[in-house]
Structures are given as C-alpha cells and as structure tokens.
Amino acid sequence: MRIGLIAPPWLPVPPPAYGGTEAVLDNLARGLLARGHDVRLFTIGESTSPVHIRSLYAAAVEPIGAGIPAAAHVLAAYGELSDADIIHDHTVLGPLIAARRGPGSPPVVTTNHLPFTAITRRIFAETARHAAIVAISRAQARSAGGIPIAAVIHHGIDLDVYKPGPGGGGYVLFVGRMCADKGVHRAVRVAKRAGRKLVIAAKIRDQDEKSYFEQDVRPLLSADDDVPAEQPLPQRLELLGHAEALLNPINWPEPFGLVMAEALASATPVLAFPRGAAPEIVDHGKTGYLCRDEDEMVKAIGAAARLDRDQCRAAAERRFSMHRMVADYERLYQAILATGGVTSRAWRAGLTA
C-alpha cells in the first residue's frame, strides 16, 4: 500500500524530547515500512523518521495551535499525498479539509489523540461523514457521544528501545507535561508523604507550564529536591528502567497515557488515578495500582516494590507493542480499501463488529 501519514506541524517526528503523538507516529511509520509498505510522512523538515519525508515548513510552527499555519500545513499535505492509496491523518483540521477534495481522493483515516469534548465532538461529527475515526482507548470511545468509531487501537511502543530495567534507583518518577491535569503537584505531595525521592522529568517550555510550576509545584519542593527538567530519550529510558514506580496522578480523562505503557515496557510498575484509559493500561495489583486518592497512592508506593517487574514487561509485550499497533492499523486500512473507501454507516458497523 501507498500510505500517507500526516503529522501536526508542532514537533519533529520523532520528537527530540516530549511529544507523545509524534512518538507514536514514528513507531507507526517505521512499523509500516518494515511490513513492506510505501510510507510517506507529511511533517516538518526537521523530522528524521526513516520514511519518505514531505513538508511545507522547515522547522516547527510556533505557537502550538496557530490556526492559519496549521491550515496551510494540512492543505499542502493533502496535495502532496493525493496519489496515496489511503491517508492517515493525525491532525484535527486536516480531515475537514479533505472533505472538500471531492471524488477520486484517497480514503481518510483519522486518529483522535484528544478527549472528546463538546467542541471536538462538533468537529468529529462532521469528520465522520467521510472519514474513519480511530479512538485510542475504549474510555475515549465511550465519550464520543454517538460519533461512529471505526476502531479502538491502543498506542504501541518500540520494545527494542524501551527495555526492561532492574529498578533499585531509590526514587519514584514522574514523566509528562508540567500542568495541573497531569498532577505534578500531587506527585510531589505523595512522594514526600511516603518519604521517597521524586524525580520529575517534565516539559516546562510554554508560559502556562512555567506559571503552574512556579505557583503550584515549586512551593512544595525543598532545597534538597532536584530541579524538574525535560529529558531526552536516552536519559528518560535510564530513569524509567531504574525507577521503583511511575506516579501518574492525572486529574483528567486522558485518552491513552503513553508514559504508562513506556513504564511497563521498562518493567516499572505504575501508580495512577483511575481516570481515562488508565484502567485499560494498569492491571491493578499486578502491574501497578489504581488509586482513588493521594492517601491510597502513598500506601501503594511501598506495595509497588513487591510487584513482579517481569509481569510489567510481559503486559507491555502482550498489549502495547509497536508491532501490534501496526498490525491493527494495517487491518483497518485493508478493510477500508476493500470497500472502495465507502464510509457508510453499514461499513463502519462492519469494522467495529
């Protein structure tokens, strides 16, 4: 198949540090290439994924979310990928533009990396008229509000990169963006109450991230605490492999939560609040604990050390590998092409049966 992938214009693929969508896209692109497909990735010029790269912008667009540059990006993408057999779009705006291209255009798949909200449901309801929508967890799909979901496909990670680690580092770990929804302040409180060192590997680039850190996180830190910092992949792998547990006290319905799968692949248990997709990733009492509140998470830190780290790795191999994700998307592409790209209600019902 000639498969066109469209990335948002905000970060390279793969990302140099933080960037969940871009990391997933790189895994998908490399996995499809390994299965013999002709993969063309429309992204930014800084991207280094080992497939055919096409771009409008040489470097990342700033600020993230800027509407006019994003519109130009996806317009160029659909023009460049017009000879693909199928287009898999990972932007929100792109599939709306694709609807205007008329007969003869490649069928479109779009993965929703965001929560379904009152605003995004309006967009995806229109998108569903002509494109297949993929949810990245069952929890996210349940919140779609009647929007037809063609498939639920969990993210997959490269298990040759995320290798099992021994733990024993004497710390618990937070990895993610510096924001209230991710619960960095709660992770600090939990670690301090449990008497554990907390390492915070967090993206702190945008002004809202800096403000949240200064107002809500820094006051909780002591002079002996390490300063939170964003970590590139090699350092992040080292931190994940030696952590006693990953703390993920999220306060929002996170559609997936890639870092939890990365921790499991590193053989590290996950302690999370049961929001969003967390119950689909963490096997309570086996690969981590789903905690109702901070009190339970404090108690679970000690229990996590007694969990079998091999079970964590085995769960990642069984459910969150890059190869499983690629095979799931490949089946979806084939099902769409087998119907000539028709996106009728009956077709979508067949895919989700």
Topology of 2-156+322-347 in CATH? Rossmann fold (3.40.50)
Query: What's the pLDDT score for residue 351?
Result: 45
Q: Is the predicted pLDDT of residue 97 greater than 60, yes or no?
A: yes
Could you state, in order of their start, the residue ranges of all structural domains in the chain? 2-156+322-347, 171-319
| Reported confidence tier of residue 17, pLDDT bands at 50, 70, 90 | confident
Average pLDDT over residues 100-121: 91
Q: What's the pLDDT tens digit per position in 303-343?
A: 999 999 999 999 999 999 999 999 999 999 999 999 876 55
| Reported confidence tier of residue 347, pLDDT bands at 50, 70, 90 | very low
Q: Is the predicted pLDDT of residue 58 greater than 90, yes or no?
A: yes
Give the list of residues 6+ apart from residue 12 with CB closer than 8 angstroms, or none: 22, 43, 44, 46, 47, 48, 60
Query: What's the pLDDT score for residue 349?
Result: 43
Domain 171-319 has CATH 3.40.50.2000: yes
Query: What's the pLDDT score for residue 199?
Result: 98
Other residues' Cβ atoms within 10 Å of the Cβ of residue 341: 18
Query: What's the pLDDT score for residue 344?
Result: 41
Asked if 184 contacts 178 with a C-beta cutoff of 8 angstroms, the reply is yes
Query: What's the pLDDT score for residue 331?
Result: 97
Query: What's the pLDDT score for residue 341?
Result: 67
Q: What's the pLDDT tens digit per position in 272-309?
A: 999 999 999 999 999 999 999 999 999 999 999 999 99
Does 2-156+322-347 match 171-319 in CATH topology? yes
Average pLDDT, the chain: 94
Q: Is the predicted pLDDT of residue 49 greater than 70, yes or no?
A: yes
